[in-house]
Amino acid sequence: MLGRTDQRWRSVAILVVMCAFALAAVIRLAYWQVAMAPKLQEMAQQRMRFSSTEHAIRGDIFDRNGRLLATTGYRDTLAAWPDQVSTDRRIATVTALTEILDLDDKARDVLDTKLSSKDQYAVLKQELTDDESAAVRAGIAGRTLFGLTLLPHLMRIYPNPGGQPGTTLASQLLGFVTSADGDSQGHYGIEGQYDDVLAGRPKLTATARDRLGRDLESSARVIDPGADGEDVTISIDASLQLQLEKELFAAWNADRSRRVSALVMDPRTGELLAWATVPGYDANDGNNADQNLVQDPIVAEAYEPGSVMKMLTAASALENKVVVPSTRIHDGFEVSFGVGQNVQNADHKGMGRITFRDVIAYSRNVAVSKVAARLGRNTAKAAATLYKTWNKMGIGRLSGVDVPGEVAGIAADPRRKPWAAIDLANRSFGQGVTATPIQLATAFTPMINGGMRVQPHFLLSIAQQPQAAAPPRRVLTKKVSGQLQGILHHVTSAVSWYANGSLIPRYQVGGKTGTAQIWRNDEGRWDRDTFNFSFVGYVGGDQPAAVVAVRIDEANSLTKGQGDITLNMSSYQLFRRIANGIIRTQEIKRSKDPQAGQPEPGSAAERVLAPERYARHVLRSGRAR
């Protein structure tokens, strides 16, 4: 049989294919070893390189006098290796820890259960106090505690107890800090506002390791040098802050209110000297605090302030020369603005013709409504005039205070939605408008400092470098400011109940109260038993030294009905207690005027509180006021 004639060609074809494969392999090998060599080397180095993080130390917060308000320190976590502890040693350890940690029977049983397990690792307590850590450390060294270890970690510490039991000082103002993998994050208050300054930056380092996992020191490279957080100094006085919180706590209990808030501000600079709400919380455990407690109502909750807004109407009326303090206004029982649109006084009475300053002092809704109507030739013009005063005094706009969460409140612009006559009347005495306590304090400040609106603020310095606040700007003339201060003084020195509850001998005080009904949306009615009570005023020697704004939120009246409202501690009585604390802590000197803090001569307050002096004034003047 003849042999195949195509074998030679098949061999050649196979050889060609094999050569092609070989050539492709050579080209591919050259590609990886030459072209891709730099990239492969970088990939290998990346696998050998490890980054390390050195966490920054958060900056401290100090009060205006250098007192520490918040700091970062170490706290120990107590952990154990249960599987390494014998029964006898477990019993001894549980007995000793029960005493060191002051455990009750239930907590002791939990501890015993954890140590009885066969787990390799168990956390017994997250944060020990310094005394507990020292006792555990001594027990481990003295071999009375077994199978335990202490693991130190950074944490935020608020070292000062607050005026309410179980709280820390200025909890809503300072806020709190949470940590994740060593990094800190500020929440609310000063901690949240200045988190970028306080937190600092972690140091990031890249290091290569050999195949045995050992660091190659020569390869260490700093990616980011990082920086510890900077210290912040704020304007509050810790001593005054504690006194304020104690007074608020007393009022909160006395009036059975939902909460009580107050702030103290320097009327010359806008620096906030104290700022608190009760109930507060423990900022050392802020992450577990009730959400309703961590929100700061002084900036985050606007409310109808009631008659304190009459001072804004007074400012507008005096500025536009509609009245002077001695102008007489007829205060009737009622004034009507249409069918079913009537305004009455809270006591359902009229006082007849009285001076404008008495209209404010005795808080007459009817008379104030009449004055508001005079602000323009028609309702639209009058509304625009009043709104303009609100706006420049800070009502309906953010105050710009340096804490997060501020709301602007509701102040309807008549250019967008025209006011009816009844709207003008209601808003002239604080209904149909909402504001926050910081807005009210800011609005009252020009009334007592010569007409300048100041910027409320806390920040004094960062890393001991002073921080300038926005300069004050004029919003009232000196004359109008003096007239308004005189009215505020008249309120507390001429009306007997205000004088009895607010005057401080040898010190100048003045202010205005506000009482507002609360609308219950779920019930569709006004609450007849609880009210919002406010007071905004000042205290000083020869010059006003501090503005104080007080809010008693949803307090339970001892009597029924808006015309007869009585509290265990009224807003103006709370003001006096706070003012006395201001006098002590700020060392305010007494007025040179010996009549300072006395009832106004010939007034109803003098007739009730100093009848003999009143009789002399009446005889001298020939008439009674």
CATH 3.90.1310.10 domain span(s) along the chain: 69-159
| Three-state secondary-structure class, residue 193 | helix
Reported as a single tens digit per residue, the pLDDT across 579-614 is: 999 999 999 999 999 999 999 999 999 999 999 988
Orientation of helix 310-319 relative to helix 478-494, angle to 10°: 140
pLDDT number for residue 315? 98
Q: Residues 6 or more apart from 280 whose CB is under 8 A from it? A: 162, 164, 167, 168, 171, 172, 245, 293
Q: Which two tokens stand for residue 624?
A: 């009674």
Orientation of helix 130-141 relative to helix 87-100, angle to 10°: 150
Cα(18)–Cα(571) distance, integer angstroms:
101
One-character DSSP codes across 13-73: HHHHHHHHHHHHHHHHHHIIIIISHHHHHHHHHHHHEEEEEEPPPPPPEE-TTS-EEEEEE
Cα(337)–Cα(588) distance, integer angstroms:
48
Q: Which of 72-81, 93-102, 322-331, 466-475 has the lowest mean pLDDT?
A: 72-81
pLDDT number for residue 85? 85
- Is the pLDDT at 351 greater than 50? The verdict is yes
Instruction: Specify the amino acid at residue 450.
Output: G
pLDDT number for residue 215? 53
- Is the pLDDT at 24 greater than 80? The verdict is no
Q: Residues 6 or more apart from 120 whose CB is under 8 A from it? A: 81, 82, 83
Average pLDDT over residues 50-62: 80
pLDDT-derived band at 3, boundaries 50, 70, 90: low
Which residue, 520, 539, 526, is CA-closest to 590? 539
Reported as a single tens digit per residue, the pLDDT across 423-465 is: 999 999 999 999 999 999 999 999 999 999 999 999 999 999 9
- Is the pLDDT at 312 greater than 60? The verdict is yes
pLDDT-derived band at 217, boundaries 50, 70, 90: low
CATH 3.40.710.10 domain span(s) along the chain: 238-593
Element (H, E) at 387: helix 379-393
pLDDT number for residue 1? 47
- Is the pLDDT at 212 greater than 60? The verdict is no
Question: Which 8-state DSSP code applies to residue 295?
Answer: S
Reported as a single tens digit per residue, the pLDDT across 513-567 is: 999 888 777 777 777 778 899 999 999 999 999 999 999 998 877 665 545 567 8
pLDDT number for residue 167? 97
Average pLDDT over residues 209-236: 73
- Backbone region of residue 158 per phi and psi (left: phi > 0; alpha: psi in -120 to 50; beta: other values): beta
Average pLDDT over residues 25-45: 68
pLDDT number for residue 211? 53
Which residue, 458, 516, 337, is CA-closest to 64? 458
Average pLDDT over residues 2-14: 64
pLDDT number for residue 533? 94
- Is the pLDDT at 573 greater than 90? The verdict is yes
- Is the pLDDT at 624 greater than 70? The verdict is no
pLDDT number for residue 625? 47
Cα(555)–Cα(574) distance, integer angstroms:
13
Residues 234, 212: contact at Cβ < 8 Å?
A: no
Reported as a single tens digit per residue, the pLDDT across 275-294 is: 999 999 999 999 889 989 99
| Structure-model confidence comparison of residues 213 and 260, the more confident one | 260
Cα(408)–Cα(426) distance, integer angstroms:
20
Residues 453, 471: contact at Cβ < 8 Å?
A: no
pLDDT-derived band at 209, boundaries 50, 70, 90: low
- Is the pLDDT at 43 greater than 70? The verdict is no
pLDDT-derived band at 267, boundaries 50, 70, 90: very high
pLDDT-derived band at 316, boundaries 50, 70, 90: very high
- Is the pLDDT at 236 greater than 80? The verdict is yes
Cα(296)–Cα(547) distance, integer angstroms:
19
pLDDT-derived band at 511, boundaries 50, 70, 90: very high
pTM: 0.84
The CATH code for residues 238-593 is 3.40.710.10
Average pLDDT over residues 407-419: 95
- Is the pLDDT at 207 greater than 50? The verdict is yes
Cα(418)–Cα(512) distance, integer angstroms:
29
| Structure-model confidence comparison of residues 35 and 376, the more confident one | 376
Cα(364)–Cα(362) distance, integer angstroms:
6
> What percentage of the chain carries pLDDT values higher than 70?
90
Cα(261)–Cα(279) distance, integer angstroms:
9
Q: CB-side exposure of 295: number of CA atoms within 13 Å?
A: 11
For domain 69-159, say whether CATH 3.90.1310.10 is its number: yes
